[in-house]
């Protein structure tokens, strides 16, 4: 009997990925089906459904599920889910698709899945705006006092993505036929939930924490991971290897930075570095909940949530992603409720007077003594060739990142928001 937390939804790992002869037969059938081009986000969602990362989802959400997830953070049957997982198609494609049809989902010439369409529903501009307000609007200064729709359409990548969706959504179960480039490009890093669970079991872990990363690890990330190692059996450093926004650092560069850090500054037996194939949604608190939900499927029961988790700009309050865990719906049924709990950590930084890493809960000194750490601040300094303040990151990691930035022929301006600058501390 496994001591790890059960997969979300009470059905074990629900994996839609076909293999062997079944996959070959479905690929052959797909050639005769209507071909629907999918987005990068949909590709990542499909792969997560394929490998069990989105258990208990078997396909894309119905209108009832979409509405309930946006409004109540659970699906129509009461199962917790914080962010809608939907698939959009154009009005022209929708006109050729009837409920009950099977279609092939393709991207860049590759067939990623087949889908049995059970429902087709229109997404008006008002529907999209309502989704954005429910999922992306936070408590930060760019969301309140009427600022959200003044700023978000141009500056919030998640809102831009939703508002650019096509006119209809299709719902229905899928059969996944490809994991894309991930197995080949990230061997040993791209791990399925069944694989991480097997690794945890082999190491005798039962209490596992996860650190979500979309930036290279600076000293604050390292500190969070080591706090988790102290109180759990081990930590999964889990990096997003799907698409990010312009100016973010590519996954291979980030993965190598993590490897360097683990090599020199961690007890290797207590940490696993892995990646997952989603695109970033930048949904702040709601995305923090999504991170915990699918980490539960990977065998994780503690999700590290620090300052401005999954945030962008100043749309979210600094610790809104922690507070939202206290407001999620609970049914009392472990099959429906979120079992992965947050590990809430205060704002962390290096303090010269403390002579080490500290937090607002442990450091009594003035702001001037603190080195404020953030991924955005690090990327901005590196992109501008500026000096990196002592104790911001490990020397070996900074050297690796400088090499990457020096090789860039085109630089993207990095916007510095209040949450990253430390102005709001």
Q: Is 382 helix (H, G, I), strand (E, B) or coil?
A: helix
What digits encode the pLDDT tens for the residues 396-422? 999 998 898 888 877 656 565 555 455
222: number of CA atoms within 13 Å, CB side? 25
Phi then psi dihedrals of residue 399, to 5 deg? -60, -45
Strands (E) in 27-148, as ranges, are: 34-37, 59-60, 87-89, 102-107, 110-116, 119-122
Q: Is the dihedral of CA 263, 266, 270, 274 positive or negative?
A: negative
Q: Please identify every residue annotated as catalytic.
A: 214-215
Whose CA is closest to 326, among 311, 341, 336, 312? Answer: 341
Q: What is the average pLDDT across 263-287?
A: 95
H/E segment holding residue 60: strand 59-60
Residue 356 is encoded by which pair of tokens?
Answer: 């080490």
First to last CA, the chain: 46
Query: Tokens 């990362």, residue?
Result: 53
Q: Residue 406: what pLDDT?
A: 86
Read off the pLDDT band of 26 (50, 70, 90).
very high
- Dist. CA 12–CA 55, nearest whole Å: 8
Write out pLDDT tens, residues 114-171.
999 999 999 999 999 999 999 999 999 999 999 999 999 999 999 999 999 999 999 9
Report the mean per-residue pLDDT for the chain.
93
How sure is the predictor about 386, in pLDDT bands with cuts at 50, 70 and 90? confident
Q: Reduce the DSSP state of residue 163 to 3 states and report it.
A: helix
Phi first, then psi, for residue 120 (nearest 5°) are -130, 125
Structural domains present in the chain: 20-180 (3.10.400.10), 188-280+346-421 (3.40.50.620)
- In whole angstroms, what separates CA 8 from the centre of its chain? 16
| pTM, entire model | 0.93
């Amino acid at each position: 009997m496994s001591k790890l937390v059960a997969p979300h939804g009470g059905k074990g790992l629900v994996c839609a990925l076909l293999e062997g002869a079944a996959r070959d037969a479905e690929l052959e059938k797909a050639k005769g089906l209507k071909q629907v081009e999918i987005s990068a986000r949909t590709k990542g969602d499909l792969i997560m459904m394929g490998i069990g990362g989105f258990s208990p989802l078997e396909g894309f959400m119905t209108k009832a599920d979409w509405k309930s997830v946006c409004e109540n953070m659970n699906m129509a049957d009461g199962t917790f889910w914080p962010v809608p997982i939907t698939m959009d198609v154009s009005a022209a494609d929708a006109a050729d698709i009837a409920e009950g049809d099977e279609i092939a989902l393709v991207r860049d010439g590759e067939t990623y899945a087949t889908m049995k369409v059970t429902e087709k529903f229109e997404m008006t501009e008002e529907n999209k705006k309502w989704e954005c307000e429910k999922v992306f609007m936070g408590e930060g200064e760019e969301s309140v006092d009427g600022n959200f729709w003044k700023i978000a359409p141009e500056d919030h990548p998640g809102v831009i993505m939703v508002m650019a969706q096509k006119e209809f959504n299709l719902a229905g179960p899928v059969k996944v036929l490809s994991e894309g480039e991930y197995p080949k490009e990230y061997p040993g890093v791209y791990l399925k939930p069944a694989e991480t669970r097997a690794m945890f079991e082999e190491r005798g872990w039962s209490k596992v924490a996860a650190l979500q990363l979309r930036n290279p690890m600076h000293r604050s990330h390292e500190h969070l991971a080591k706090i988790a190692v102290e109180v759990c059996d081990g930590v999964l450093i889990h990096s997003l290897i799907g698409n990010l926004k312009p100016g973010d650092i590519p996954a291979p560069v980030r993965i190598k930075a993590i490897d360097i850090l683990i090599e020199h500054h961690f007890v290797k037996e207590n940490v696993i570095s892995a990646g997952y194939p989603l695109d970033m949604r930048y949904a702040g608190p709601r995305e923090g909940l999504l991170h915990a939900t699918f980490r539960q499927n990977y065998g994780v029961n503690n999700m590290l949530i620090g300052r401005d988790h999954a945030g962008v700009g100043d749309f979210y309050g600094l610790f809104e992603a922690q507070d939202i865990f206290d407001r999620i719906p609970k049914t009392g049924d472990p099959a429906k409720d979120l079992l992965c709990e947050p590990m809430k950590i205060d704002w962390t930084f290096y303090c010269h007077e403390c002579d080490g890493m500290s937090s607002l809960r442990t450091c009594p000194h003035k702001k001037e003594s603190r080195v404020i750490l953030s991924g955005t601040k690090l990327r901005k300094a590196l992109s501008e060739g500026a000096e990196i303040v002592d104790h911001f990151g490990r020397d070996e990691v900074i050297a690796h990142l400088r090499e990457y930035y020096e090789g860039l022929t085109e630089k993207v301006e990095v916007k510095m928001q209040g949450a990253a600058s430390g102005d709001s501390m």
